[in-house]
């Protein structure tokens, strides 16, 4: 199945629109700032840094499950939605699950290299939420590289949230494209170690 790139493209009126472009293999997400309506950040040469979204702001140990008992794509997604229900982040399982599965019908979120990022928007959440699961056995996710997945990261956002939703997808894609980070998470013995791997990666990136 053909992967796509999600791009926030500036328009002449200063707002942005989301445009999808086909790609040959994996998912890449690029965010462009419109001419107005977004804050200006001074250059790093001036001693400032633009603050990136941190995944550690939206993930915690209780939202990480190892191993997942699921054996199929739908079971894995449902198990992660159940996890977010148990933490109080999702108020309506059927609504949240339906949103993610409906999104999955349009295009696979198995982006290659053993990673899937199922996501959706639902009235069942009041903020951007995230859950991580690692199945005991690799799962067929109909990935773009036709290989099974070893790591599943679920994202859910409110219906009216676009910018942070796309930013979170971009952050996950960016960090998981780093071989050392992905391997550390895939080999981590527990939720604490997965969280630490993400923290270490984001701290290293911030200090670069």
Say if CB 142 and CB 110 are below 8 A apart.
yes
10/18 Cα distance (integer angstroms): 9
> Catalytic residue at 119?
yes
Encoded tokens for 7: 């791009």
84/131 Cα distance (integer angstroms): 7
CB-CB neighbours of 39 under 10 Å = 6
What Rg do the C-alpha atoms of the chain give, in angstroms? 17
118/79 Cα distance (integer angstroms): 12
The bridge status of strand 110-112 relative to strand 115-116 is antiparallel
Catalytic-role residue among 28, 40, 119, 165:
119
Residues annotated as catalytic (active site), given as ranges: 119
């Amino acid at each position: 199945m053909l992967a796509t790139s999600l791009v926030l493209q500036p328009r002449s009126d200063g707002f942005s629109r989301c445009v999808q472009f086909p790609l040959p293999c994996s998912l890449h997400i690029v965010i462009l700032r419109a001419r107005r309506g977004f804050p200006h950040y001074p250059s790093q040469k001036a001693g400032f840094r633009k603050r990136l979204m941190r995944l550690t702001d939206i993930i915690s140990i209780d939202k990480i499950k190892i191993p997942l008992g699921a054996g199929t794509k739908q079971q894995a997604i449902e198990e992660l939605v159940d996890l977010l229900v148990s933490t109080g982040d999702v108020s309506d399982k059927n609504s949240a699950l339906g949103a993610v599965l409906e999104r999955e019908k349009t295009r696979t979120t198995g982006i290659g290299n053993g990673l899937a990022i199922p996501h959706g928007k639902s009235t069942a959440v009041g903020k951007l939420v995230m859950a991580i699961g690692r199945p005991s056995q690799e799962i067929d996710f109909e990935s773009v590289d036709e290989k099974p997945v070893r790591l599943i990261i679920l994202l859910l956002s409110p219906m009216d949230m676009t910018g942070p939703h796309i930013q979170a997808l971009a952050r996950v894609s960016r960090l998981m494209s780093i071989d050392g980070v992905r391997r550390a998470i895939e080999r981590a013995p527990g939720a604490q170690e997965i969280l630490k791997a993400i923290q270490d990666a984001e701290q290293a990136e911030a200090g670069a």
